[in-house]
Chains A and B, each alone.
Chain A
Amino acid sequence: GAGVSQSPSNKVTEKGKDVELRCDPISGHTALYWYRQSLGQGLEFLIYFQGNSAPDKSGLPSDRFSAERTGGSVSTLTIQRTQQEDSAVYLCASSQNSGAFGELFFGEGSRLTVL
């Protein structure tokens, strides 16, 4: 596609439910990143993929968070047993390479609200 696509754009869920957020990167981009942005805050790194493998998962806040990437393309971020503190905008980005200082292209984000 022309840009990074994320879905859903908005998700409201009840505390304790599981949610899945999807990211479709720019075609041909091998690196994919997930960041979290709480209201008025900075960009908190969660996880990144090089191809289908995740060399760095150090940003995942707890074991309720997991992510996978299949076919070197689409990625899914799953949050189990959501908590109110999980409310944030989840941003996905892709780049042509990782570790090669390439530009990150961000999606519009998925806004998650946990009631």
Chain B
Amino acid sequence: GENVEQHPSTLSVQEGDSAVIKCTYSDSASNYFPWYKQELGKRPQLIIDIRSNVGEKKDQRIAVTLNKTAKHFSLHITETQPEDSAVYFCAGDTGRRALTFGSGTRLQVQP
């Protein structure tokens, strides 16, 4: 089955800096890659997703890039703010079963 690896496990940046979180996946059949944000004590929520027919997608300060050949995708957050502090999960989906999530990255934005 699909295996999604995510790194780093923790990331600390200064407010205003950029943050990058990277994920790799094993199943070449995966063609949908969402990112979920989980604030402390709250439920995970979808923040952005990308399908395999595109290489990059942006939404304001966040962007996701996908390299299908290398089987990796990344989340980029620019101009980070304290409210970006959370745990971020990447995931891969082959469409044959439920989403497989990465292990999560705890992002801390220092004011």
CA distance A100 to B18 in the complex (A): 32
Question: Judging by beta carbons under 8 Å apart, are A58 and B1 in contact?
Answer: yes
Question: Judging by beta carbons under 8 Å apart, are B46 and A103 in contact?
Answer: yes
Closest Cβ neighbor of A92 among chain B residues: B43
Question: Judging by beta carbons under 8 Å apart, are A101 and B98 in contact?
Answer: no
A20 beta carbon closer than 8 Å to chain B: no
Question: Judging by beta carbons under 8 Å apart, are B44 and A56 in contact?
Answer: no
CB distance from A109 to the nearest CB of B (A): 7
Stretch at the interface among B58-66, B74-82, B99-107: B99-107
Question: Judging by beta carbons under 8 Å apart, are B98 and A109 in contact?
Answer: no
Q: CB-defined interface of A73-114 with B at 8 Å, one 1/0 digit per residue?
A: 000000000000000000100000011110110111100000
**Total number of B residues with any Cβ neighbor in A under 8 Å:** 25
A55 beta carbon closer than 8 Å to chain B: yes
Closest Cβ neighbor of B4 among chain A residues: A42
CA distance A108 to B40 in the complex (A): 12
Closest Cβ neighbor of B1 among chain A residues: A58
**Total number of A residues with any Cβ neighbor in B under 8 Å:** 22
Please give, as numbers and ranges, the residues of chain B lying within 8 Å of A59 by CB-CB distance. 98
Describe A's contact surface by its main secondary structure.
Answer: loop
Closest Cβ neighbor of A55 among chain B residues: B97
CB distance from A47 to the nearest CB of B (A): 8
Q: CB-defined interface of B26-48 with A at 8 Å, one 1/0 digit per residue?
A: 00000110101000001111100
A12 beta carbon closer than 8 Å to chain B: no
A positions within 8 Å CB-CB of B:
33, 35, 41-43, 45, 48, 55-56, 58-59, 91, 98-101, 103-104, 106-109
Using A42-B102, A45-B97, A99-B95 as known contacts, list a sample of 14 further A-B pairs with CB atoms less than 8 Å apart, ordered by residue number in A.
Answer: A41-B103, A41-B104, A42-B6, A43-B104, A48-B98, A56-B98, A98-B98, A99-B96, A101-B31, A101-B34, A103-B34, A104-B46, A104-B99, A106-B43
B positions within 8 Å CB-CB of A:
1, 6, 31-32, 34, 36, 42-46, 49, 51, 89, 93, 95-104
